[in-house]
Chains A and B, each alone.
Chain A
Amino acid sequence: MRLKKNLALSDSGFVFDPSTGDSFSTNPIGLEIVKMLQTGKDADEIKAQVVKTYLIDEVGFEKDYYDFVNTLTKLKLSDGSPEKKD
């Protein structure tokens, strides 16, 4: 997925969507993933980064990742375009 470009993120995990005025809180790993999504990283790149940094296997990560991404979509934080595939 691609996140809306203009989302404002703070280091505390506060996410603000200036186009709707909605705001959300996420935990540190959520923030890290949101930041990676915002820089245009795809699911594989994010998976590689997270699996390398944290004690989690690929299957476990994917389950949580897609759950998280679904939540972002439901919250209308996606810009609606499909994930970039090289």
Chain B
Amino acid sequence: MAARRKKIKIAVTGLNAIDSPGPGIPVIRALRASGDFDVRIIGLSYETLEPGIYMHDLVDKTYQIPFPSSGKASLLTRLKYINSIEKIDLIIPNFDAELFNFITLANTLRKEMGIRVFVPTLDQFEERHKSNLPAFGKKHKIKVPFSKMIFSTAEIPSLRKDFTYPLVVKGKYYDASIAYTPEQVASHFNKISAKWGLPVIIQQFVYGQEVNVTAIGDGKGNTMGAVPMRKQYITDKGKAWSGISINDRKLMDMTKKLIRSTKWKGGMELEIIKTANDEYYLLEINPRFPAWVYLAVGCGQNHPEMLVKMAMGEKVVPFKKYDIGKMFVRYSYDLIVELKEFEKISTLGEL
């Protein structure tokens, strides 16, 4: 007789399954695919048109939560209300920008509401910030493209001293654009700083193939799972619309070394450029699962399920293998939504 699946209530953010997708929906799909958990999914949304709100086959109930910029006090108040109804066991945050609040609230959530989160420590989170990446690379002996923070367009002409064009202009949380001229840097600077604030990061462009790794660490230095992927189709926003799992030992060694030396806790994504000379440059560490994390499930490693088990204190063994040559192909799909539903989430903040 098959063992009964354990009932668990998990709140998930990142329901924006849009052209630059949040990881919430793939994380939920992974949780629904779990053989060990029978999940009730509570969606936590920021905006009323996040598609996940209306995907009732995946999300059981959605509550709006305040934007990260509102601070952790207002988030805590809202979570108290939601928890009074839902009795949440675990929250899986999926946005870089909200992680600070969830990391700093972790103890309070556990003590006051019995809600667990399994996220990196504040030190881990801060250390891998784009603006700190050169120091991070030096400390952990990983190649990182040269980068520099700038705070005003007045600094752009002097970039020629340190960089050769093209270069990459990056927001502190999201967005990256390639610039071939100082004028383009100025244009990207204005767009990105208006959206994500300052500083803006200037990074040397490295030619090569984009490879990414989705991984999960136990917080003690052990890699509990890792699947590398090569982007096959990239959107104009630089997002993988299609990718394939690959067998790249160097990439796996780099991932394990990084998780060992940082004692990374939780999900993560490594964004890496592999040059024609087989050199690997770390572009970014995202402190959460990527939007393509469901590929890992397809390859035999359910990373979100592993995260739930670790968060709930269950005994786990690391994944040892994964399928190579498995592909994902993303697609868009039009949901038909009744105005009543839109009205409810817009006015009541829940659906």
Partners in one complex: yes
Interchain CA distance A17-B324 in the complex, whole Å = 10
Chain A residues with CB under 8 A of B248? 19-20
* Residues 209 to 255 of chain B near chain A (Cβ within 8 Å): 209, 229-230, 232, 243-248
Interchain CA distance A21-B232 in the complex, whole Å = 8
Determine the residue in chain B with the shortest Cβ distance to A21: B230
B318 at the interface (CB under 8 A from A): no
B325 at the interface (CB under 8 A from A): yes
Determine the residue in chain A with the shortest Cβ distance to B248: A19
Chain B residues with CB under 8 A of A21? 229-230, 232, 243-246, 325
A-B contact count (CB 8 A): 22
- Interface size band for B: 10 to 19
Contact with B along A1-37 (1 / 0, CB 8 A): 0000010100000001011110000000000000000
Tell me, rounded to whole Å, the shortest Cβ–Cβ distance linking B300 to chain A.
15
Determine the residue in chain A with the shortest Cβ distance to B247: A18
Interchain CA distance A6-B247 in the complex, whole Å = 10
Determine the residue in chain A with the shortest Cβ distance to B231: A21
Chain A residues with CB under 8 A of B244? 21
B246-A8 in contact (CB<8A): no
Interchain CA distance A20-B246 in the complex, whole Å = 6
Tell me, rounded to whole Å, the shortest Cβ–Cβ distance linking B240 to chain A.
11
Contact with A along B296-327 (1 / 0, CB 8 A): 00000000000000000000000000001100
Chain B residues with CB under 8 A of A20? 209, 230, 246, 248
Interchain CA distance A10-B39 in the complex, whole Å = 40
B325-A19 in contact (CB<8A): no
Tell me, rounded to whole Å, the shortest Cβ–Cβ distance linking A74 to chain B.
12
Chain A residues with CB under 8 A of B243? 21
Interchain CA distance A18-B251 in the complex, whole Å = 13
Tell me, rounded to whole Å, the shortest Cβ–Cβ distance linking B298 to chain A.
14
Tell me, rounded to whole Å, the shortest Cβ–Cβ distance linking A81 to chain B.
15
Interchain CA distance A16-B243 in the complex, whole Å = 14
Interchain CA distance A6-B246 in the complex, whole Å = 12
A18-B209 in contact (CB<8A): no
A8-B325 in contact (CB<8A): yes
Contact with B along A48-78 (1 / 0, CB 8 A): 0000000000000000000000000000000
Tell me, rounded to whole Å, the shortest Cβ–Cβ distance linking A23 to chain B.
8
* Residues 7 to 65 of chain B near chain A (Cβ within 8 Å): none
B230-A18 in contact (CB<8A): no
Tell me, rounded to whole Å, the shortest Cβ–Cβ distance linking B104 to chain A.
39
Determine the residue in chain A with the shortest Cβ distance to B229: A21
From A16, A18, A19, A21, residue with most partner B Cβ within 10 Å: A21
Determine the residue in chain B with the shortest Cβ distance to A8: B325
Interchain CA distance A63-B324 in the complex, whole Å = 35
Tell me, rounded to whole Å, the shortest Cβ–Cβ distance linking A78 to chain B.
13
Tell me, rounded to whole Å, the shortest Cβ–Cβ distance linking A15 to chain B.
12
Chain B residues with CB under 8 A of A16? 325
Tell me, rounded to whole Å, the shortest Cβ–Cβ distance linking B28 to chain A.
27
Determine the residue in chain A with the shortest Cβ distance to B245: A21
18 contacts across the A-B interface (CB closer than 8 A)? A6-B247, A8-B325, A16-B325, A18-B246, A18-B247, A18-B324, A18-B325, A19-B246, A19-B247, A19-B248, A20-B209, A20-B246, A20-B248, A21-B229, A21-B232, A21-B243, A21-B245, A21-B246
Interface residues of A, Cβ cutoff 8 Å to B? 6, 8, 16, 18-21
Q: Which 4 A-B pairs have the closest CB atoms?
A: A21-B230, A21-B244, A18-B247, A21-B246
Besides A18-B247, A21-B232, A21-B243, 15 other CB < 8 A contacts?
Answer: A6-B247, A16-B325, A18-B246, A18-B324, A18-B325, A19-B247, A20-B209, A20-B230, A20-B246, A20-B248, A21-B229, A21-B230, A21-B244, A21-B245, A21-B325
